[in-house]
Structures are given as structure tokens and as C-alpha cells.
Amino acid sequence: MNENIDRAPAGLPARTAALAILVEVLGRRRPLDETAATVLDAARLERRDGAFARALATTTLRRLGEIEAVMRHFVPKPPPGHRAGPTLEILLLGFCELLFLGVAPHAAVDAANRLARADAKAQHFKGLINAVLRRAAEEGPGLLAPEHAPRLDTPDWLWPRWVENFGEETATAIARAHLETPPLDLKLKREGDPCVSLLDGAELPGGVVRLRDAGRIEELAGFADGSWWVQDFAAGLPARLLGDVTGRTAIDLCAAPGGKTAQLASLGAHVVAVDRAPDRLTRVRENLARLKLAAQIVEADARDWRPETPALLVLLDAPCTATGTIRRHPDLPWIKSAADITHTSTLQAELLDAAAEMTAPGGTLLYAVCSLEPEEGIEQAESLLRRHADFRRAAIAPADVFGASELLTPAGDLRTLPCHWAEKGGMDGFYAARFRRI
């Protein structure tokens, strides 16, 4: 796997940026996308160098477990960070280049040496870096064990959970899906848009076009015209479960970055998009403007805000650990922990209680999370039913999801997994439950 980049080395500036990204993500647990955007904007790299820097950091995180396993063969005990600075991260990047990006050994080793010389602490470990990477260039590829990759690249706080919840075979399939670079899904504002013929992608149900090698999003056909927005196929399913929304008011809670708001608005709903993050709401407004769609934007914490009158349609896509999106965000397993599940599950319960208050009698409440964890999914749904006697589960039928019954649980909830539709490129992991207020 090469993250869709050319194998030729891109030079020291790109590697310097990749190192800065990796230090922030692994050392300070900052999200990859946010960090990469900040670092690459400051670095002002050429497009090719920027692509290489992002791919190098992303692949290192995607294959971190395998890289660490091979690296331990050469460096059983890495030097402590307080004395060695970014020595560990320099080694990780070097191993990634040698094992997964196919970079020429002399280029990868030389670049690592230069990165070490540029740091006041790491320069004292340049000899170690040089010797280890030279050995790894010769012996490292033979130490890789592809059959163990899914387990190695899944941290210990996640693997036992997935085995318990899904079984070892499915857990392995989920983890294997995370090793592949995911395709880019575009949700058409209008199905049958002529731009489909120019996008050169595979068409999925519901007006989704899937691209394998997308390039720059801003340069794709239909972007400037507002013909589509980026939204994984699975992420587009929850809004469909609200049924016919034409001319009806739909409250979209925790709405940013706005994919579901755009989806509902494109179907003719009057959307009230609620989110507490002003910067994320700015992105929602920008996307709606490009798409030439309208929605009422409300900056508020959904736990405190209430509409003037309850609505018949309420969608809550709640904050979560996002473990269903690891294939798109390979940093997540390494910057989150089981403690995050406890925090988010508490928040989700509070948000669900608020959403229940906003739902009018006879109305529909749709709860969704892009998480694989039961505490954030099925357990939230069951808990809501215990707390609110006036709500009933409204089972989702295969017809609601294009006949794909494998995406539904026996109870009638939506449960997509990254390994679903593997032959088509997979999909994000989502859970959704639909309720009616009586």
C-alpha cells in the first residue's frame, strides 16, 4: 500500500513536516487531520511534497503496530523521549518508508540522519538511527507477517472489545479493512446529475459516487457548481431513515460538519442545524453556500437549547469515539482510550434526553453514532427506552437501506461495519436506531 503517491522520495522538507505531524499526534494526542492542516499550511510545501508528507504520516499511523513490532527486533528499548527528542518518531518514519512506501533505502536512511542532525536532542542518537535503519533495509521486510497485521495494527484497548462484540473472524475483517486506503464517496445533491459521467467513479445506491483515486477535491467535476458533498455511503443512511422529509421541519443536532444537514435540505426539509462549535458551524455555512442549500443555523449546546415547538423529525448524530471511521482516521486508535468511551457515553445519554424532549408526539427520533462500541450504540438505545416510556423502537426494514439486510441488527437497528461491501471498497462503521414518540 502506498497511499496513492509516487514512490520517488520527495525530499527533506516533506519529511520534516511528516515528523512534526507525527510528534504532535503521538506525543500530544492531537487529531491527524487538524495537525496536518496546521503543519502543512505553515510549511508552504509544493503540492507533491505536501502529499508525500501527509501520506508518510498517515501510513505510519495506519501501520503503527506492525512498524513497532519490526522495530523492536532492532531496538528492544527505544531511548526515552526526554533525552532523545523525536528519535522514536524519526525511526518510525524511516521504518515506514522502508517497509511500506517502497522508498529507496539510501534515501530513507539519509533523510532520517538529516532529521536527527536538525534536532538538538536527536542528533546524539544519529549513530543509532543510522545503524538500525541500515539493518532494517536489509532484514526488515522479511520480518513482516501480513497474517498478523490486523491484530498488530489494532491497539490492546480495542481488540478484545471487538472480539467480544463481533467475534474474532469479524473483528479481524474490521481490522483488515482499516489497512486499506478508503475510497472517496460523493453524495449527489440531485441523483442523475450529469457530472457523474465526468467523475469516473462507481455509482452506489442513493446517489453516491465512489472514487478510488480522487486527487484534489476542489478540482473534481461538479465541486464549483455545488453538485455534491463528501459523505461516506454509511454516513448517508441515517438521514434516509427519517422517511419523506419534503416540506417538514427536521432538527439536526450536533450538525457539524453538515453532511446530514445538506442531505435533508436537498430532500426538501426545513432544517434547523444545531451545534455548539462556532468554527465548525462556519464550515457548515460555507458548505451550504457552495451547495446552494438553505438551513437555519443555531449555535447552541443541544443539551440546553429547545425549539419553540417540538418537531416531528429529530436527528441526533452524537459525538462519539468514532471508532467506525478508523480507516479514514488511522490516528484514532492511538490517541483515544477506553476512558473516552465512558466520557462520550455520558454525553450521549444527556443529548438523547434533550432530543427526546424536542420530539413531538407522533414524531420520529433518529439516533446515530459513527462508533463500533456498544456503550455508544445499542446500549444507548436500550437505555433511552427504559428512561422514556413514551418512546418505542421503530424497526428499520431492508427496504430502508436499499435491501441490504446485512446492515441491520435482529432488533431492527442499523449496524454497518468497515468490512461490509469489502469488494466495493467498504464503508464506515455506523450505528443508528429509530424511535417513535407515542
**Residue 324 scores a pLDDT above 80:** yes
Question: Reduced to 3 states, what is the DSSP secondary structure of residue 79?
Answer: coil
**Residue 213 scores a pLDDT above 90:** no
Residues 20 and 75 in one domain: yes
pLDDT tens digit string along 117-148?
999 999 999 999 999 999 999 999 999 999 99
How many structural domains compose the chain?
3
- Confidence at residue 81, expressed as pLDDT on a 0 to 100 scale: 82
Residues 140 and 200 in one domain: no
C-beta of residue 216 within 8 angstroms of C-beta of residue 413: no
On whether residue 169 sits in a domain, the answer given is no
Of the residues 96, 195, 370, 419, only one is catalytic, namely 370
Indicate the pLDDT class of residue 215, thresholds 50, 70 and 90. confident
- Distances 174 to 160, 232, 368 between C-alpha atoms, Å: 13, 16, 19
On whether residue 160 sits in a domain, the answer given is no
**Distance (Å, whole) CA 41 – CA 437:** 48
On whether residue 151 sits in a domain, the answer given is no
Give the distance between the most distant pair of CA atoms in the chain.
71
Residues 243 and 375 in one domain: yes
The C-alpha angle 228, 232, 237, rounded to 5 degrees, equals 95
Give yes or no: 96 in active site.
no
Residues 300 and 391 in one domain: yes
- Confidence at residue 78, expressed as pLDDT on a 0 to 100 scale: 84
Query: Domain with 389 in it: what CATH number?
Result: 3.40.50.150
What is the average pLDDT across 289-313?
A: 98
Pick from 286, 324, 343: nearest CA to 429: 324
Residues 192 and 251 in one domain: no
Pick from 333, 291, 265: nearest CA to 31: 333
pLDDT tens digit string along 24-53?
999 999 999 999 999 999 999 999 999 999
- Confidence at residue 192, expressed as pLDDT on a 0 to 100 scale: 87
| Residue in the structure block whose three cell numbers are 486527487 | 215
pLDDT tens digit string along 95-117?
999 999 999 999 999 999 999 99
What is the average pLDDT across 396-410?
A: 97
Residues 241 and 322 in one domain: yes
**Distance (Å, whole) CA 34 – CA 25:** 10
Domain that holds residue 33: 12-144
C-beta of residue 338 within 8 angstroms of C-beta of residue 286: no
Indicate the pLDDT class of residue 5, thresholds 50, 70 and 90. very low
Q: pLDDT > 70: what percent of the chain?
A: 98
On whether residue 119 sits in a domain, the answer given is yes
- Confidence at residue 389, expressed as pLDDT on a 0 to 100 scale: 98
Q: 414-416 and 249-253 as β-strands: parallel, antiparallel, unpaired?
A: unpaired
Whole-structure pTM value: 0.94
